[in-house]
Amino acid sequence: MIRSLLRGLAAAALLFTGLAPVCRPNTYVIYVAPSDSPAAAAATAKADGSLIFAERRVHSALTKAAELLQTGPHTVNVLVAPGAYPGKLKAGVWALPLINNPEATLRLIGGFNADFTGRQPFGNLSRLVTVEGRDGAILQIAPKSALKELVISGFVFDAAPSNKYDAKTNSILKGTSRSYPLISFSQLKTDHLVVDSNIFLNGAHGAFDPFVAPLSANAVIDISNNFFLNNIKTMKPAGAPSRAGSVKQLNLVHNSFLLSWPFNPDPTSSNVSAIELYHKDCCQELRIEGNLFAYNPGGAMQHDWPEDRMPKTAIHNNLFYMNAALFQDGTPKNGVFAGKFGTNPKYLLVDLETAEDDLGYDMAGNVSIDPKITIAMADLKAADSYAVDRANTVMNDIRRLFSVNQDGGTVAIANFAPALVFSTNSLPLPAEPQAKAFGVQTDKLWQP
């Protein structure tokens, strides 16, 4: 009875002083491993049902994480063993339930070994296996979500099972492939987004755009150490402005952009380059450092906005090679930028020396050398809308009246974004010694 009285007095004191009970931060761990695997046995042995849990499916872990993070300054680390994970009901998508908690931190970390004592995501592959007909991005963040920090590190996002390919032309069939990115952030509100050490592969509609809104004036986006392989219109590196302003800094560091395809196999296409630069709304500062851009037919960086509309930009210690095969004047060292720079009717191709001489960005330490990466790459047979004669048809007369693109007949296209397989036995890393410091570094993984 005395204890009850003391608790009542304590509660009354809190009400009188206007204070609320302090919510102490907890760190939860959710181990994920496929059924009947050595990692599953290790996960079950570690679980205590209080702070440590074990799950067999990634989607179950996401549901549990959302449950734990609804209130309070807590952290959930979802640690995923290697394996091929199906989505809920084998639908090929993973949806993070709504978490509207600006104090919470969620870290999704794949690539662990069987006993969870270490990880190597480029050897121990944690695959999120999608399927034909997926109804959205492979990983989806619920709209109206808010997190202090979100980390996505160590997963394989391969869209090939949801794509269609033409065996005759060795090309993707865009019209019947899924027109969703690999990750959708749905304007998540956060102060720190980390996308690190993942493999983004065969995206028919991009890998992802880091379209997150800052919680405060100090929001940062870190995109680092990822393989971007064989994706169409890979990324627009831009955050979403909010009442807190724009993202303070967007860092694109030590990624490998290989075989990034234009939206259409045509030098007049939109979204031609590996990354599409955005104006000042993207961020206050843009840092592009240590990346490797190679074999991207439509250019490394697309620059369509006037230079004076761009954020403060630093481009340091990147490698650029063979990034303009789509264009007639695409030499191996050209295509550092491909863009209209505000007013040009056609894309201008800019090599490294021209960029350093003519543009006002902070550029230093960049090189144009052959990285000697082993990738089977067939010659692209593209169309060129400027070189196609207009077909003399009634329908084209109508299209001309309404300033709509006119039909030029049938043009053969081959080797446009064919399916690519990622193999741990032959990682797409440079064989050239001088190029090994650029792009993905397999020994430099994200650490909390």
Per-residue pLDDT tens digits for 146-193: 999 999 999 999 999 999 998 888 889 888 888 899 999 999 999 999
Per-residue pLDDT tens digits for 189-227: 999 999 999 999 999 999 999 999 999 999 999 999 999
Cα(348)–Cα(64) distance, integer angstroms? 50
For the chain, what is the total number of helices (H) and then of strands (E)? Answer: 5, 29
Cα(316)–Cα(311) distance, integer angstroms? 16
Per-residue pLDDT tens digits for 7-47: 443 444 433 444 445 678 999 999 999 999 999 999 999 99
Mean pLDDT (whole number) for 39-66: 98
Residues with Cβ within 8 Å of residue 433, at least 6 apart in sequence: none
Mean pLDDT (whole number) for 138-148: 98
What is the distance between the terminal CA atoms of the chain, rounded to a whole angstrom?
47
Instruction: Strands of 235-344 (E only): list them.
Output: 249-253, 256-258, 275-276, 285-289, 292-294, 301-302, 312-316, 319-321, 337-339
> Tokens 């792009």 correspond to what residue?
439
* Residue 24: per-residue pLDDT: 86
Cβ–Cβ < 8 Å for 147, 101: yes
The token duo for 120 is 């190597």
* Residue 21: per-residue pLDDT: 57
